[in-house]
Amino acid sequence: MIAFENVTYDYPGVTALRDVTLSLDHATTTALIGPSGCGKSTLIKIAVGLLIPSRGQVRIGEQALESAHLAALRHRIGYVIQSGGLFPHLTARENVTLCARHLRRPAPWIAERFQALAELVRLPGDLLDRYPGQLSGGQRQRVSVMRALMLDPDVLLLDEPLGALDPMVRHELQQDLRALFDRLRKTVVLVTHDLAEAAFFSDSIVLMREGRIVQRGTHADLQRAPADAFVRAFLAAQQPLPPLHD
């Protein structure tokens, strides 16, 4: 569904991705994980078409992600970022329906789809006419997920969507999002810093370091056969809770 082929990306003075090759099958969920600055967000931005690879290419389905048909391909991709990225001067409803209205989708279609998505992300109707500033962080992320799904994209890219939420809201949204991914059968890529979250959501985990993929596999694969000392150290750094002492 998505294929990165030998993708390198250079910011001025920084090479953020180095020869990354990765293909993600239809209806799978993949977690991108790795230390800060390893290139996770850059990879996601390339998949959305916000950045164009310095070298290499990306394909969505059979189509190369090139500037000529970027606009059409973007409608096949939903994108959620940590801060939600909602327009503050538009209500939740206006944010979610903005793109569909811009594309002149029929009003009954928009209303029906909006209602179905509100039920899917479990947002009560009275919240949907509020502005983002009048919603909690968790509610804002539910609206962001609705917006990302509005045009029924094949691919859903989530860049630390739960990173800014308190642990209880985060737990609730983790449960709801996983149920939603299972139900919708989209190709999902989720960036997280949390290995437990990666293991909970994904069919496969892609561990990155300094712009390269170090290992790909399930959580069990990584634990059973870490590719190198870095993977071992990364797994060891995920601290369990200390034992209780009386």
Ligand X SMILES: Nc1ncnc2c1ncn2[C@@H]1O[C@H](COP(=O)(O)OP(=O)(O)OP(=O)(O)O)[C@@H](O)[C@H]1O
**Cα dihedral value 124, 130, 132, 138, nearest 10:** -20
Q: Specify the residue, 114 or 234, whose C-beta has the smaller distance to ligand X.
A: 234
Asked if 14 is part of the footprint of ligand X (rule: CB under 6 A), the reply reads yes
Beta bridge partners of 191: 32, 159
Piece of 30-38, 129-137, 170-178, 194-202 that binds ligand X (CB under 6 A): 30-38
Asked if 11 is part of the footprint of ligand X (rule: CB under 6 A), the reply reads yes
Of 108, 115, 121, 34, the C-alpha closest to 78 is 121
- Of the residues 2, 16, 118, 150, which one makes contact with ligand X according to CB under 6 A: 16
Q: Specify the residue, 16 or 158, whose C-beta has the smaller distance to ligand X.
A: 16
> For 54-85, b where at least 16 C-beta lie within 10 A, e where not — what string?
eebebbbeeeebeeeeeeebbebbbbbbbbbe
Q: If you count DSSP H runs as helices and E runs as strands, how many of each does the chain have, helices first?
A: 9, 10
Asked if 37 is part of the footprint of ligand X (rule: CB under 6 A), the reply reads yes
CB of 36 to ligand X, least distance (A): 3
- Of the residues 36, 71, 106, 167, which one makes contact with ligand X according to CB under 6 A: 36
C-alpha separations of 98 from 118, 128, 148, 161 in Å: 15, 14, 11, 20
- The token pair that represents 124 in the structure block: 């009560």
Dihedral (CA of 183, 189, 193, 199) sign: positive
C-alpha separations of 243 from 96, 167, 223, 236 in Å: 45, 20, 22, 16
Asked if 38 is part of the footprint of ligand X (rule: CB under 6 A), the reply reads yes
Piece of 31-39, 84-92, 104-112, 236-244 that binds ligand X (CB under 6 A): 31-39
Piece of 40-48, 67-75, 85-93, 105-113 that binds ligand X (CB under 6 A): 40-48
CB of 15 to ligand X, least distance (A): 8
CB of 10 to ligand X, least distance (A): 9
C-alpha separations of 189 from 36, 119, 120, 200, 206 in Å: 17, 23, 19, 13, 10
Asked if 39 is part of the footprint of ligand X (rule: CB under 6 A), the reply reads yes
Asked if 40 is part of the footprint of ligand X (rule: CB under 6 A), the reply reads yes
Asked if 41 is part of the footprint of ligand X (rule: CB under 6 A), the reply reads yes
> For 101-110, b where at least 16 C-beta lie within 10 A, e where not — what string?
eeeeeeeeeb
- Of the residues 29, 42, 95, 139, which one makes contact with ligand X according to CB under 6 A: 42
CB of 14 to ligand X, least distance (A): 4
CB of 202 to ligand X, least distance (A): 17
- Number of chain positions touching ligand X (CB under 6 A): 11
Residues found near ligand X in the complex (CB under 6 A): 11, 14, 16, 34, 36-42
